[in-house]
Every structure is written in structure tokens, then in C-alpha cells.
Amino acid sequence: MLCKIDNFLRTLYRLSGYIAALFLILVAVFILTGITSRLFDFYIRGLAEYSGYSMAASSFLALAYTFGEKGHIRITLFLEKAKDRIRRFLELWCLFIASFFSGFLSYYFIKMLILSIKFGERSEGADEIYIWIPQLSVAIGSTIFFICVIHNFILLILKKKNN
């Protein structure tokens, strides 16, 4: 059962990474469209805002995938020098702190999303779309990242029990 959950979560992180890549492509499309539109003397409303929204979506949706692939910057200089018991303690402590802060981040992004929906907030840009639409991807990305950190924390705890 745990193996199925582990596989499902890894698939979720990979899917999140693919969606992040699509948003990154959208950033390039919006920027190139903006440049081209200026060259041909016409204006498309909201392209700068949409590229910003896409960049935020790409950044937050990529967090879990990058963390799962060990792509985030880690302080391995100290961990490599530490003995096995101290190293394990440091890894557990770091993942515990990361779990706390990623959960805190996720909680407040979800809270911000709910308030934006409740008050019907609109963006201040030329497009004036409901602000919850771009906030949704940030809240989802931060929640998947929180799940990924907790997942790695639990795996590290279970690793000791299996040895």
C-alpha cells in the first residue's frame, strides 16, 4: 500500500513539473507576442500580466518536482562531514523545519485564495481578471510542495525502521 502511495505521489510531482514547463512555455509565448505586437504597432492588453502569472505558476508548480529530484540547493558540505547518527539527525531536523515552513506557506496561499474569491478581487492590470485565477496555481503548487516535503520526511523516518 505504501508503495502505491509513493508511486502516486511521485507521479503527481512529475505531472506538476510538466505543467510547470507548459507555463514556462506560455511565458515565452506571451513575451514574444508582446514584442511582435510592438513591432507591428498594435497592442494586446494584459500580456505582461499574463506572463507574470504564468511565471508564478511555473515557479510554484515546479517546486515539488525539483525537490523530489533533489534539485534544490542543499547544504551537503556539512552533511558530508557529519557522522551517520548526526547526519540523520540533521536531515530529520531540516525536513521537519522545511515541513513547517512549507505548510505555513501553503496555508496562507490557500487562505489568500479564499479571500480573493470571497471579495471578488480583480487584478490592477489592463486585463482586470479575477485575481483568484492566477492565485489558484500558486496555492496548488505550494500545497503539492508541502506534500512532497512531508513525503520525504516520512520516507526518511521509515528508512531508519527498515534498517
Lowest mean pLDDT among 39-43, 63-67, 117-121: 39-43
State mean pLDDT over 10-26.
Answer: 96
What's the confidence (pLDDT) of residue 160? 60
CA distances from 142 to 18, 148, 154, 162 (A): 16, 10, 18, 30
State mean pLDDT over 118-134.
Answer: 89
pLDDT band at 23 (very low <50, low <70, confident <90, very high): very high
What's the confidence (pLDDT) of residue 87? 87
What's the confidence (pLDDT) of residue 163? 42
Asked whether residue 114 carries a pLDDT value surpassing 60, the answer given is: yes
Question: What does pLDDT average to over the chain?
Answer: 90
State mean pLDDT over 122-132.
Answer: 86
